[in-house]
Amino acid sequence: MRNVEKLNAGDSVDHFFLIHKATQGVTAQGKDYMTLYLQDKSGDIEAKLWTVTKEDMKLLEPEKIIHVLGDVINYRGRKQMKINKFRLATPEDNMKTQDFVGGAPLTPDQIQEEISHYMLEIENANLQRITRHLIRKYQDAFFTFPAASSHHHNFASGLSYHVLTMLQVAKSICDIYPLLNRSLLYSSIILHDLGKVRELSGPVATTYTVEGNLLGHISIASEEVSEAAKELNIEGEEIMLLKHMILAHHGKMEFGSPKLPHIKEAEILFFIDNIDAKMNMFEKAYNKTEKGQFTERIFGLDGRQFYKPTALD
């Protein structure tokens, strides 16, 4: 069996997959069809089921495991699967959901231990108390949830792994530029995406919750900081600064930030977040691409395709 990331146009498919997402549509001729996003541990692929019944529409739901016979094609610079035949997995197939869910390169315990070392470097007592309080509050979800339903770090423990790699980048930047306040930058990195534990449904077939769709992770995280400060009887300017970091971490209003960065640490947080997200997009795309070829179009990078050189490792 070839992993999703290794499938290429022209390949035939005879595999089991987990349904990550399922949508219904109608062709120009008025016929029903379905778009499924099928995943294994290596990634996911868009799949089209052009002949579909009403019963199929009821059966094909997220978190279901199905066996697919199909073909992979190239559609507008992206790999797409045409499903010719499918069936739901049965108990006799001995398939488990966790067999199809990718994860971070470190275990949740390893990530937690690494992040705890960075917490010790938060010298501002108020920022450290709030950070520890909120991580304890959402510990299980924080260390198991993905950072997104797609695009970047969309795998189990992706949220905390994204935080860890951002902290590693921040450490180097703070060492080079001591003008930056390490406590504020570290605490905001750890908490900037905390709202995703309420915005997203979980690590399997991740979708957005009602709260996530209506409020979004940025406002949720800012609210969590306010509630934590009140609960811990903490007052001071650093609470306002931490909330500003969270509210401004997308950098631009067109990217979803309610506020633009107005302190130097907020600007740097935006850059670090952007770098780490894009590097994960590159990693996923290059893992699917042979040397001497271009990647498929990467949505989070303006739909551009990137060349994988033959002369470089």
**pLDDT 10s digits, 169-188:** 999 999 999 999 999 999 99
Q: Verify that 113 and 244 share a domain, yes or no.
A: yes
In this structure, how many other beta carbons lie within 10 angstroms of the beta carbon of residue 155?
24
Same-domain status, 164 and 196: yes
* Res 121: pLDDT: 97
**Out of 112-116, 202-206, 211-215, least confident range:** 202-206
Residue 1 has pLDDT above 70, yes or no: no
Domain that holds residue 206: 108-284
- Closest by Cα among 295, 290, 313 to 305: 295
72-86, 112-126, 191-205: least confident range: 72-86
Rounded Cα gap, residues 151 and 112, in angstroms: 23
Q: Are residues 43 and 135 in the same domain?
A: no
Residue 304 lies in a domain: no
What is the average pLDDT score of the chain?
94
Q: How far apart are CA 192 and CA 178, in angstroms?
A: 22
pLDDT number for residue 109: 96
Q: What is the pLDDT of residue 309?
A: 95
181, 253: one domain: yes
Q: How far is CA 188 from the centre of its chain?
A: 18
Asked whether the predicted pLDDT for residue 158 surpasses 90, the reply is yes
Spatial separation of the C-alpha atoms in residues 168 and 75, rounded to whole Å: 38
Chain centroid, CA 216 distance in Å: 14
Clarify whether residues 170 and 89 are in a common domain.
Answer: no
pLDDT reading at 77 higher than 80: no
Length of the chain: 313
Residue 133 has a pLDDT of: 98
**What is the rounded distance in angstroms from the CA atom of residue 18 to the CA atom of residue 3?**
12
Structure tokens at 194: 């905390």
Overall number of domains in the chain = 2
pLDDT at 191: 98
251 HSE (CA, 13 A, CB side): 10
Q: What is the mean pLDDT of residues 271-275?
A: 97
Query: Which residues are paired to 79 by β-bridges?
Result: 74
Based on the domain organization, do 156 and 276 belong to the same domain? yes
Task: Name the token pair of 49.
Answer: 């089921």
Report pLDDT for 108. Answer: 96
CATH of the domain at 15: 2.40.50.140
Point out the domain boundary residue: 100, 126, 156.
Answer: 100
**In this structure, what token pair is assigned to residue 70?**
């199909």
Residue 23 pLDDT exceeds 90: yes
Q: pLDDT tens, 92-106?
A: 999 998 889 889 999
Task: Please indicate, yes or no, whether residues 247 and 144 belong to a single structural domain of this protein.
Answer: yes
pLDDT at 313 over 80: no
Residue 300, classified by CB atoms within 10 Å of its CB into exposed (0-12), middle (13-18) or buried (19+), is: middle
Crossing angle of helices 182-191 and 217-231, in 10° steps, is: 120
Same domain, 170 and 216: yes
Give mean pLDDT, residues 46-69. Answer: 93
Assess if residue 305 is contained within a domain: no
Q: What is the pLDDT of residues 291-308, one digit of tens each?
A: 998 998 898 899 999 999
* Per-residue pLDDT band at 160 (split at 50, 70, 90): very high
The structure tokens listed for 164 are: 């860890």
Q: pTM value?
A: 0.86
pLDDT at 212: 96
In a domain, 306, yes or no: no
Same domain, 117 and 72: no
Mean pLDDT over residues 3-30, rounded? Answer: 91
3-state secondary structure of 253: helix
Residue at token pair 């992979």: 72
239 and 163 co-located in one domain:
yes
Both 259 and 240 in a single domain? Answer: yes
Eight-class DSSP state of 31: -
Give phi and psi for 78, each to the nearest 5.
Answer: -130, 150
Q: Given this model, what pLDDT does residue 240 score?
A: 97
Tell whether the model's pLDDT for residue 146 goes beyond 70: yes
Mean pLDDT of 75-79: 82
Regarding whether 91 and 197 lie in a shared domain, the answer is: no
Q: Please report whether residue 54 resides in a domain.
A: yes
